[in-house]
Structure 1
Amino acid sequence: MTGERRAMAPDDPGVTAGERAGPEQPLSRNRDYRLLWGSQAVSEFGFHATMIAFPLLVLALTGSGAASGLVMGTIAAAQMVAGLPAGVLADRYDRKAIMLVCEAAQTVSAVSLAVAVWTDTATVAHMVAVAAVFGACAALFEPAESASLPALVSDAQLPTAVAMNTARASMGQLSGTATGGFLFAAGRFVPFLADAVTHAVSFTALLFLRLPRRERPTGPAPHPGREVLDGLRWVWRERAIRVTVACAIVLNLFFSAFYIVVVVLAGTRGVPSGEVGVMAAMLGAGGLVGALVAPVWHRRLGPYRAIVAVFWALALLTPVAVLVHDGYLTGVLFALMALFPPTANTAIMTDQLLRTPDGLRGRLTSVLVLACGAAGAAGPALGGLLTEVLPGDGAILVCSAGITAAAVLTTAGPTLRGLPRDRPEEEPPEDS
């Protein structure tokens, strides 16, 4: 990328970088951030409602668990395949256009499936195709959105914006999954029609989004593979980014493994399924509250202390699961543990975005999302394996040991100790 001729090119003609939100403007009055956040709050509700309805629809039409797994697996596979190329597209092309195309594609796909279900013409092949569009669009949208955040908000407001995006995702997941089943009960096509409406609303809102001018490469585009490698080299070469990515991977791996271990042990101990559902719900609720308080904790602790404090809080709370066998008390423990990761994620993502040049932010996000997604997928597999090979609470103690080891390394590591320890500049209270 060095030596490449670059030119100023507007994401939205007529909007200059000086017109973006200044430090004196609270996020609550930032028109463009509100448009982006609100549009995705609506869109994520529809997406998660569909994620619940998809396996129900496949089972209702085919009675095949394998077909249901194929459709849901297609979503995850499409996200993985599109993950790294998505960052290249977000860095080279108009980010607003990418977001609009993603919303339009999901609207059309959801409408096509709703119509097919309504007319009794839906097939597994059709559902697989729609699932592939959903997964690819989710992978393409996130780098474009994350890379746009520093252009929409001030540096001091970026931690709050990152945390509010996390809270938005949690709200979308909680509300969408809670509603999707009821929508499906009202009619098999209803969740997909609702999803189409939410994406159409999001598309319309994004039409009015103004992104400041930014530098984009001009001239012949390098081979996409080369640009992917440029992004990977950047992540690997920048020690602070490499280490914080590793922190995020470890956090996702052991936390998801611990969750599966506790759920499996609860089942073997005869905990009623209703209490297991409460445990999962309280985990989501704790994550939502944690995302809302993350900006405050981040401001008070600074990046280094925020990351270290989260690892030690989880290291201390994880072994408590050995002593707690009641489903409701385990749910309380889950809620307490879920309070902390959003603060670490906010610290990590904010530091990475501020360290990374704008032309590489899309690829940075795609690498982080792909790495954390792989860790999140490997975690349940690790947790399931641990419950098979270790008796009783041994699997919990292994997860606890892994998190404790990570806490020691994050505390003593020279790279993280080089992150700012002082509290960042205070934002106006109304920003949060």
Structure 2
Amino acid sequence: MARLNSVKMTYAINRTGEIVSIDNVDNGLECNCICIDCNGQLEAKQGAKNQWHFSHHKDNDAINCQWSGESELHIKVKEYLDRYKRLTVPIGFTNPTSLDIQFDEIQLEKSLRPTKRIPDVTGYCAGEKILIEVKVTHEVDQQKRIDYKKVNVSVIELDFSDFTFIDTRIIDQEIDLYFRNPICNWLTVAPVGDIASQFQEHERAVTKELIVNNQNLLREAGAMVDYINSYRRRYEMSKSRIKDASERLEEVKNQIHHAKSERNEIIHSAAGLFNSTLDQLQRDHAVRLTAEFNENHRLLNAELNEINVVIKSKKDELAQIQHIIDQQDNKVNEIRKAEKQLNIEKNNFHQRELDWNKAAKANAVIKRHFMRLEPELRGMCRKGGIPWPFEGTLMEELSPSKDNAQ
């Protein structure tokens, strides 16, 4: 908003005391106008090149004057509201909707009794009074809000803190563009009237919707818990099957080790027998040695053939065992994939649980809001002589149990 410092003055007070635009006066000192802020004499600058504007005739007046671009913007906004008498306002504090108000009457700078406060604009719509404050650099202070609330009047603040414009003069088109989607919020809302009724109806609907959404989230969370428990049981069963497969695999490994040991013992025994026979042959004569050697050689070949048969059988068993091991590895991989999917679904459930917790916190905030609001509403009803419209408390009125009972 630093550009406000460069805004030129386009409004002044004429000799009859009215606020006039630079477009509706004579040029130079013939305008007969004074400054809105310091009452210093002004000169109308209506040249062919620069934007038309007022300037102080005396430099001393310009130095001491407190007029700013914020004053210009206030006047522009008030002029727009007085001319078109319309405003789009939010309805509700939670997920607000929009309401287009067409005022029957607009009054500027009218004192609000008995507070002696002077709002920027006072509008009347169907007999209901709505005060309008314009915020540029300073918002309505806390004491002023309290004074407005004491007299039970609806007050809305238009936020122009981020208002932007192109040149050194604020034009009507820029103001009109802002009012197509104004940034505003309610400072106070009267306890009775059309605005109050629409606020109450909106908040009631939003609260009921939040309650329904919370119930749906609870049901979804319960279903998710059942789903996770089902996967947990399947996971435990898979762990048990893996354990059994591991035990069977260990048993097969032991059998392979035992078979290898037996084979080595047979080979070692055959070698010992051969060496023993050879020693015996050395002590006997050559003929007997040759005959016994031939016989032992025949026997040894027979034993070796048997050993080869046993080795071949063991190789076949090892091939079958390797096939079983490969099958078990495939099952282990499938179980790991299932475990990975289970972790993903577990994370998804955790996220849903976080979303549910957020919704629960939001519900708690709404409950506290209504518990804090109910004493004020009851006090307003008593002050206005209006009976309490509900059979019980505000929370009982909005509770799901009452809706079900109805």
TM-score by length of 2: 0.20
Greater relative CO, 1 or 2 (CA 8 Å, sep 6+): 1
Is the helix fraction higher in 1 or 2?
Answer: 1
The structure with the larger Rg is: 2
TM-score by length of 1: 0.19
Is the strand fraction higher in 1 or 2?
Answer: 2
